[in-house]
Amino acid sequence: MRFPVNPHGGELINRVVTGGDREEWIKKGSSLARITLNERELSDLDMIASGALSPLTGFMSSADYRSVVESMHLSNGLAWSLPITLSVKKENEARYKEGGDVALYDEKGGLIAILHLKEKFAYNKEEEAQQVYRTTDANHPGVAALYAQGDLYLAGEVTVINRVGYDDFLAYRKDPAELRQLFKEKGWKRIVGFQTRNPIHRAHEYLQKCALELVDGLLIHPLVGATKSDDVPADVRMKCYEVLLENYYPKDRTYISVFPAAMRYAGPREAIFHAIVRKNYGCTHFIVGRDHAGVGNYYGTYDAQLIFDEFEPQELGIQPMFFEHSVFCKKCEGMASSKTCPHGKEEHVFLSGTKVREMLSQGIEPPHEFSRPEVAKILIEAMKR
């Protein structure tokens, strides 16, 4: 069976070196200038290694960076919405020579990759913040991370010697090539991806199952990279997903695998990024709900859907599936949205995130119309800890 969707740019990138070449780079790495990567940079590097960020083969050049920031396209015209960059402090600039190599290490001191440094360049943090995050407010977590990083970007291809040594969710970590092969074996031709960094409540379940009516398979792809400190921890979220899939989803039409990316909280631009990357993992469709990848009040409720209008459908190569905010309607006696329900808010079971956290912290189970009891139990236990 020919796979139904090509990787972004046409080729699934693999930057991992093996055999004798790997041994040579390990020897050479010890004598090179080095950089210790933070959690976000490591996840970016590992996704470059596996092809999840195809067509990227390394950290962005100045031409690609500026084109992405200004127009959401790489310099060759291919759609791409977020900068993938590696920063260093200005005072350390002399350590890194253009045309040379730089060893990239994880925070435990392990050699991960070699950066073939093609270029180093300055950039404007406020401009990047405004264009990418639509704000220069340092209270925005993505902007805060941007302001805290170095003033220079290093650009070049990477040769990956060792994959990042994750020790969690090992059974759920699947590279793009692995998921593509799995979908092929299942005979799925139409696969919808679902991005989440929160536990799945009844509204999420409703829109996932609406989408599943139209495709062959559903990929639940929770993000387990760096998130805000007040987000629900990934291990707790995974327990919620497991109990839901065990009891409420068709096992032959649903698959769960973790997404190793870090959250940027870039709202609309991150929705485009999430869609493109899921195409690399083999998805033909991608669910975009309300306030996708949003935070606080920085983005409009449906800005992450409207941004797709700025691209021609063939540019992205994946079909977005847009959903309104869903609630349980007591009058309809089921899940519904403004597109399907004629009743007023007084008939709807809706809880704010703040209210849900307050209930859970007090050991109070939210209404079953909002959350499955099994999920609520896991979250209450986590709040106690």
- Residues with a known catalytic role: 197-198
How far is 130 from 128, CA to CA, in rounded Å? 6
Q: How far apart are CA 294 and CA 195, in angstroms?
A: 12
Residue tagged 């730089």 (tokens): 102
* 219 token code pair: 């990929």
Cα Rg, the chain, nearest whole Å: 21
Handedness of CA 149, 154, 156, 162 (dihedral sign): negative
Number of other CB atoms surrounding residue 113 within 10 Å: 30
The upper half-sphere exposure of residue 96, i.e. CA atoms within 13 Å in the direction of its Cβ, equals 26
Between CA 341 and CA 332 the distance in angstroms is 7
Residue with tokens 């139904």: 4
How many other C-beta atoms can be found within 10 angstroms of the C-beta atom of residue 146? Answer: 22
> Contact at 8 Å (CB) between 270 and 244?
no
